[in-house]
């Protein structure tokens, strides 16, 4: 406690923010109480066990795959002299710009029986019908896992790479001096040190997987999210749907707690980030392996689907769409930027509070503000309406009572609700990234300015924020890109005449005519690239 | 920090810009129907009446949203794609009666609510598509459970409103136990897990993955008019089921006025426009649907599929069996 025992305004505002973000989740839990009734029993006896096992399996597969994709690629880029690292470094991030449901659609088109790949195979081998040969079916649980992992692995890649690059070189050198081989240094020192960052990334991926709706729906894989939709939209039973969502939330809680337990007590910090040039040199075959591995990820996660989109756009060019698309694109960029900014400011405030006042209780706001991540967009949207609705009603009633003109649905009926939903959904991403960044700043630094008589705010501004610059940027960009791709919450909360790129594209995908919206889909990917390019530029 | 707070406040202020409320020359629509279909209709309406149409394409959760918004809801008009949604809105008390001689005369009485809260605009048939290679045939919905179609049937999710309505009509006809047995039979016959939409099934027939699929009639026209999808449609025949007995299952798309509509007059004008000859003609031509208004010609293409007999089961009955249908679908694990 260098700056006094407590900082009441900061503490209070942190709790208020965290509770505001948690409010929709609380509303959801509250309405679910006592609703594990007859419908729940029916679901349990019929389809629920399959939904649950699908959810668990999908999460497991995706987690394993992102580790297999993300960790080795981060290792190649940060630790070895792989040829063309400067290109790969950011090319590996490109899949982040691809919405998973888009990749799902494009790959089904490509690999279906009537798609070009199977047509070509049939022409080559003279096969006549589906019974003549075996070909993998993409519309399965495994297919969904591969598609999700291809667009989600950049989380693991990015956070692992950053962690490896910022490791204390002296530790690694010490390992080498003590006779460890390059591989042993990696497995015994570097990777264990990077584990917290890797775990944060995997947790994000798990939550993203649990909440996915569009991809699993397209692949006809029924998960808990499907069950929530069915119960709410089919049976019209919001309370039972909330009960199911609460079960989902338990999964998340478990994931979050497990993640935090796994890195409890670890304090990893470095005064000397790994800026050195002593990267591992690779043999010829290792070079080939590394290049094939990394470029395959770029190709499958980005280049191929993007090329398919471009070819569709050329074939079905509808240039008269451009004006409308530019308008939709601008709106999308704006609300995503607002959400990213708000999420980052909130995360910074909460994470720094815990840093300077490291009581267990002060860690809670940070933790609970991230719960919204795994709440499926639809459920969150409903919860937000239930939360904002009464406030809106109260505002209108008050205005009427005061003889003012009615303000209308200021919170639930405008883009405010959408931005709020984005912040609730994606605060966890900002929290994870910024906390990891703060964790890396040595605690000794906190004390130095105080001993020189510099105040808390000045310390944060002059010492911590500059050191956190890259974490802040990464957090902002991740939230931005995710917000741009978010679909279900926007579908439900959008005000009149409001469209985002993702709702525009989804509309066409669900009608099997993405061709008509290929240009729009290219827009979403290109906008998604802006932050990635920017990220890259700022790194160098 | 202070700068940031000022900045934040400023941006928050810009967010709360357009709040919709009552105005003589605007009408606010919540629509389940897709933009490409309704936008031309709305543009035409605006041209004729000078009333601007604001739309939210709220495919999911419209009733919930309306209920939460309550008396402050900006919504005037609700457009839906099947009868169950209309009944849901009616039962939750989210609609108001519209008394209009124009609507009463234009729309046949079986396609109107008794209490004037909703009106059908178009009818859509649940057809059975069969591969051309099977030749011309007469087929009943009941046949889909026949063993001779083992591994030959494709369909979208059983939980989709169009299929739920069909299952509801089967319950009305045969009772729950027989319908469950039928569903289990159909499931056994599926070539693949239910997936995609109605067009996707025809595509699968074209690919040779299956021989028989369920789909609404207008998709057939849509596919024939699409360069890429024409080959799919060319691979199938469109059949109107149960012609020798009760007739083909028919659903409606429809419209209602929200209980707290702030622009009631404009809303009524829009409803009357949607039931007018011109709008009904547009429905027929652009979406290949069957207009409800007597005397409005079908599109040439739709007419070429021939006349058919439709099931005269009251639409309310279908809506009544909806939850039972959903439960049977779960019991049969139809989608798994």
Q: Who's near B227: CB < 8 A, 6+ residues apart?
A: none
Chain B residues whose beta carbon lies within 8 Å of the beta carbon of residue A227: none
Closest CA to B64 of A480, A229, A190: A229
Measured CA to CA, the distance from residue A89 to residue A158 in angstroms comes to 9
In this structure, the number of other CB atoms found within 10 A of the CB of residue B282 comes to: 19
B221 touches chain A (CB under 8 A): no
Question: Domain check: are B118 and B264 in the same one?
Answer: yes
More confident residue, B5 or A52: A52
Chain A residues whose beta carbon lies within 8 Å of the beta carbon of residue B59: 491
Is B122 in contact with B296 (CB distance < 8 Å)? no
Chain A residues whose beta carbon lies within 8 Å of the beta carbon of residue B229: 512
Question: Domain check: are B96 and B61 in the same one?
Answer: yes
Res A70: pLDDT: 96
More confident residue, A469 or B325: B325
- Mean per-residue pLDDT for B104-112? 91
Out of B20, B226, B323, name the one closest to residue A496 (CB): B20
Question: Domain check: are B172 and B194 in the same one?
Answer: yes
Q: Does B219 show up as a binding residue in the annotation?
A: yes
Res A35: pLDDT: 62
Chain A residues whose beta carbon lies within 8 Å of the beta carbon of residue B199: 511-512
Residues in B 165-194 with any Cβ partner in A closer than 8 A = 192-194
The tally of domains found in chain B comes to: 2
Question: Domain check: are B77 and B203 in the same one?
Answer: no
What's the gap in Å between the CA of A409 and the closest CA on chain B? 7
Residues in A 239-278 with any Cβ partner in B closer than 8 A = none
Res A214: pLDDT: 84
Residue to mutate among B9, B16, B88, with most A CBs inside 10 A, is B16
Question: Domain check: are B139 and B243 in the same one?
Answer: yes
Res A123: pLDDT: 87
Question: Domain check: are B264 and B205 in the same one?
Answer: no
Question: Domain check: are B140 and B222 in the same one?
Answer: yes
Res A538: pLDDT: 60
Out of B16, B58, B209, name the one closest to residue A113 (CB): B209
| A414–B16 CB contact, under 8 Å | yes
What's the gap in Å between the CA of B46 and the closest CA on chain A? 15
Establish if B217 belongs to a structural domain: yes
Measured CA to CA, the distance from residue B198 to residue B229 in angstroms comes to 12
Res A249: pLDDT: 78
Residues in A 125-164 with any Cβ partner in B closer than 8 A = 129-130, 139
Chain B residues whose beta carbon lies within 8 Å of the beta carbon of residue A515: 228
- Tokens representing residue B7 in the block: 């900045």
- Tokens representing residue A511 in the block: 């009608």
Establish if B20 belongs to a structural domain: no
B43 touches chain A (CB under 8 A): no
Q: Who's near B203: CB < 8 A, 6+ residues apart?
A: A114, A512, B196, B229, B232
| A381–B226 CB contact, under 8 Å | no
Question: By residue range, what is the domain housing residue B50?
Answer: 26-123+250-304
What's the gap in Å between the CA of A162 and the closest CA on chain B? 28
Out of B59, B72, B197, name the one closest to residue A491 (CB): B59
Establish if B162 belongs to a structural domain: yes
Note the ipTM here. Answer: 0.81
Q: Does B218 show up as a binding residue in the annotation?
A: yes
Task: Output the CA angle B294-B295-B299, nearest 5 degrees.
Answer: 105
Question: Domain check: are B102 and B188 in the same one?
Answer: no
- Tokens representing residue A388 in the block: 């904002």
SS3 per residue for A401-457: HCCCCCCCCCCCCCHHHHHHHHHHHHHHHHHHHHHHHHHCCCHHHHHHHHHCCCCHH
| A416–B15 CB contact, under 8 Å | yes
For A491, name the nearest residue in chain B, comparing CA atoms only. B58
Residues in A 175-194 with any Cβ partner in B closer than 8 A = none
Q: Who's near B148: CB < 8 A, 6+ residues apart?
A: none
Which letter does DSSP use for residue A52 in this model?
H
For A51, name the nearest residue in chain B, comparing CA atoms only. B336
Res B18: pLDDT: 46
Radius of gyration of chain A (CA): 24
CA torsion sign for A169, A175, A178, A180 is: negative
Write out pLDDT tens, residues B59-96.
Answer: 777 888 898 888 889 999 999 998 988 998 999 999 99
Chain B residues whose beta carbon lies within 8 Å of the beta carbon of residue A497: 54-56
Question: Domain check: are B327 and B180 in the same one?
Answer: yes
> Tokens 């080959």 sit at which residue?
B231
Establish if B10 belongs to a structural domain: no
B63 touches chain A (CB under 8 A): yes
**C-alpha B15: how far from chain center:** 34
Res A426: pLDDT: 92
* Domain CATH number, residue B233: 3.40.190.10
Res B5: pLDDT: 46
Establish if B6 belongs to a structural domain: no
Residue A17 sits at φ, ψ, to 5 deg, of -60, -50
A-B Cβ pairs (cutoff 8 Å, strict) = 147
Task: Output the CA angle A347-A355-A271, nearest 5 degrees.
Answer: 105
Question: Domain check: are B100 and B36 in the same one?
Answer: yes
Query: H or E segment at B332?
Result: none
Establish if B119 belongs to a structural domain: yes
Res A356: pLDDT: 83
Question: Domain check: are B268 and B166 in the same one?
Answer: no
Establish if B95 belongs to a structural domain: yes
Write out pLDDT tens, residues B202-249.
Answer: 999 998 889 999 999 999 998 998 888 899 999 999 999 999 999 999
Question: Domain check: are B77 and B190 in the same one?
Answer: no
Res B17: pLDDT: 43
Write out pLDDT tens, residues B10-66.
Answer: 454 444 444 444 556 899 999 988 887 889 999 999 999 999 999 998 777 788 889
- Mean per-residue pLDDT for B277-295? 91
Measured CA to CA, the distance from residue A257 to residue A446 in angstroms comes to 28
A378 touches chain B (CB under 8 A): yes
What's the gap in Å between the CA of A491 and the closest CA on chain B? 6
In this structure, the number of other CB atoms found within 10 A of the CB of residue B110 comes to: 12
- Tokens representing residue B182 in the block: 């039928």
What is the residue-averaged pLDDT of chain B?
Answer: 89
Which residues in chain A come in under a pLDDT of 70? 1-6, 34-36, 262-278, 535, 537-540
- Tokens representing residue B2 in the block: 């202070």
Residues in B 98-157 with any Cβ partner in A closer than 8 A = 157
| B170, pLDDT greater than 90 | yes
Beta strands B153-154 and B212-216: pairing type?
parallel
Res B167: pLDDT: 97
A415 touches chain B (CB under 8 A): yes
Out of A222, A341, A419, name the one closest to residue B336 (CB): A222
What's the gap in Å between the CA of A497 and the closest CA on chain B? 5
What's the gap in Å between the CA of B299 and the closest CA on chain A? 22
Closest CA to B111 of B212, B255, B308, B286: B255
Out of A114, A235, A415, name the one closest to residue B206 (CB): A114
Chain A residues whose beta carbon lies within 8 Å of the beta carbon of residue B168: none
Establish if B18 belongs to a structural domain: no
E strands, A291-427, are none
A393 touches chain B (CB under 8 A): yes
B3 touches chain A (CB under 8 A): no
Measured CA to CA, the distance from residue A52 to residue A223 in angstroms comes to 6
* The pTM of the whole model exceeds 0.90: no
Measured CA to CA, the distance from residue A404 to residue A423 in angstroms comes to 32
Res B48: pLDDT: 94
Provide, rounded to the nearest whole percent, the portion of chain B with pLDDT above 90: 69
């Amino acid at each position: 406690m260098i700056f006094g025992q407590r900082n009441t305004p900061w503490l209070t505002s942190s709790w208020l923010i965290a509770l505001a973000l948690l409010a929709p989740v609380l509303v959801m839990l509250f309405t679910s109480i006592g609703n594990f009734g007859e419908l729940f029993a029916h679901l349990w006896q019929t389809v629920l066990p399959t939904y649950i096992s699908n959810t668990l399996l999908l999460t497991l597969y995706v987690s394993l795959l992102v580790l297999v994709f993300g960790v080795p690629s981060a290792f190649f880029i940060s630790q070895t002299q792989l040829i063309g690292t400067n290109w790969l470094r950011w090319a590996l991030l490109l899949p982040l710009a691809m919405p998973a449901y888009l990749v799902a659609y494009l790959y089904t088109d490509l690999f279906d029986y009537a798609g070009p790949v199977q047509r070509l195979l049939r022409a080559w081998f003279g096969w006549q019908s589906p019974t003549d040969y075996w070909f993998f079916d993409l519309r399965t649980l495994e297919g969904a896992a591969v598609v999700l992992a291809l667009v989600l692995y950049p989380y693991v890649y990015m956070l692992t790479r950053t962690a490896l690059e910022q490791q204390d070189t002296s530790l690694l050198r010490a390992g080498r001096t003590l006779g460890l081989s390059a591989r042993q240094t990696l497995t015994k020192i570097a990777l264990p040190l990077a584990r917290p960052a890797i775990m944060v990334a995997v947790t994000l991926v798990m939550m993203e997987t649990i909440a996915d709706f569009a991809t699993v729906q397209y692949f006809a894989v029924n998960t808990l999210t499907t069950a929530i939709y069915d119960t709410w939209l089919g049976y019209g039973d919001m309370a039972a749907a909330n009960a199911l969502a609460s079960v989902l939330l338990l999964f998340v809680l478990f994931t979050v707690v497990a993640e935090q337990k796994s890195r409890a007590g670890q304090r990893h910090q470095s005064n000397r980030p790994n800026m050195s040039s002593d990267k591992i040199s690779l043999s010829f075959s290792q070079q080939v392996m590394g290049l094939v591995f990394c470029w395959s990820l770029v190709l499958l996660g980005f280049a191929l689907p993007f090329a398919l989109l471009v070819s569709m756009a050329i074939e079905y060019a509808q240039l008269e769409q451009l004006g409308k698309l530019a308008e939709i694109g601008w709106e999308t960029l704006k609300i995503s930027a607002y959400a990213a900014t708000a999420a980052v400011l909130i995360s910074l405030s909460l994470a720094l509070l815990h840093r300077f006042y490291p009581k267990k209780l002060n860690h809670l706001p940070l933790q609970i503000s991230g719960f919204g991540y795994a709440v499926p967009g639809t459920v969150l949207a409903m919860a937000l309406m239930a939360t904002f609705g009464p406030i809106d009603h109260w505002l209108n009633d008050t205005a009427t009572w005061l003889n003012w003109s009615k303000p209308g649905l200021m919170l639930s009926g405008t883009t405010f609700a959408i931005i709020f939903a984005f912040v609730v959904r994606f605060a966890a991403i900002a929290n994870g990234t910024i906390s990891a960044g703060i964790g890396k700043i040595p605690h000794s630094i906190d004390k130095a300015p105080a001993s020189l008589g510099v105040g808390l705010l000045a310390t944060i501004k002059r010492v911590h924020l500059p050191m956190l610059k890259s974490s802040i940027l990464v957090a902002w960009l991740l939230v931005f890109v995710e917000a741009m791709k978010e679909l279900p919450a926007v579908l439900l909360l959008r005000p009149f005449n409001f469209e985002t790129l993702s709702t525009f594209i989804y509309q066409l995908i669900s009608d099997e005519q993405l061709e008509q919206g290929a240009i729009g889909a290219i827009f979403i990917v290109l906008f998604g690239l802006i932050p990635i390019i920017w990220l890259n530029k700022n790194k160098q | 920090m202070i700068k940031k707070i000022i900045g934040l406040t400023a941006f928050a202020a810009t967010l709360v810009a357009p709040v919709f409320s009552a105005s003589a020359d605007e009408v606010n629509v919540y629509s389940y129907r897709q933009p490409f279909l309704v936008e031309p209709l709305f543009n035409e309406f605006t041209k004729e009446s000078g009333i601007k149409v604001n739309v939210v394409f709220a495919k999911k959760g419209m009733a919930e949203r309306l209920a939460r918004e309550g008396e402050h809801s900006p919504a005037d008009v609700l457009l839906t794609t099947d009868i169950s949604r209309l009944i849901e809105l009616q039962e939750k008390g989210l609609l108001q009666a519209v008394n209009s001689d124009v609507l009463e005369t234009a729309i046949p009485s079986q396609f109107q609510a008794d209490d004037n809260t909703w009106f059908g605009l178009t009818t859509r048939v649940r057809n059975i598509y069969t591969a051309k290679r099977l030749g011309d045939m007469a087929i009943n919905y009941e046949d889909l459970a026949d063993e001779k179609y083992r591994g030959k049937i494709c369909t979208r999710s059983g939980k989709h409103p169009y299929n739920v309505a069909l299952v509801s009509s089967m319950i009305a006809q045969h009772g729950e136990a027989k319908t469950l047995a039928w569903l289990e039979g159909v499931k056994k016959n599926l070539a693949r897990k239910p997936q995609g939409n109605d067009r996707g099934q025809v595509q699968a027939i074209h690919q040779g993955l299956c021989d028989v699929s369920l789909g609404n009639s207008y998709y057939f026209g849509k596919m024939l008019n699409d360069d890429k999808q024409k080959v799919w449609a060319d691979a199938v025949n469109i059949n109107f089921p149960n012609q020798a007995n009760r007739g083909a299952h028919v659903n409606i798309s429809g419209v209602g006025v929200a209980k707290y509509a702030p622009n009631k007059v404009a809303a009524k004008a829009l409803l009357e426009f949607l039931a007018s000859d011109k709008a009904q003609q547009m429905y027929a031509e652009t979406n290949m649907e069957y207009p409800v208004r007597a005397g409005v010609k079908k599109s040439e293409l739709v007419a070429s599929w021939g006349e058919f007999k439709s099931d005269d089961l009251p639409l309310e009955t279908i809506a009544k069996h909806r939850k039972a249908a959903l439960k049977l679908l779960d019991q049969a694990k139809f989608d798994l």
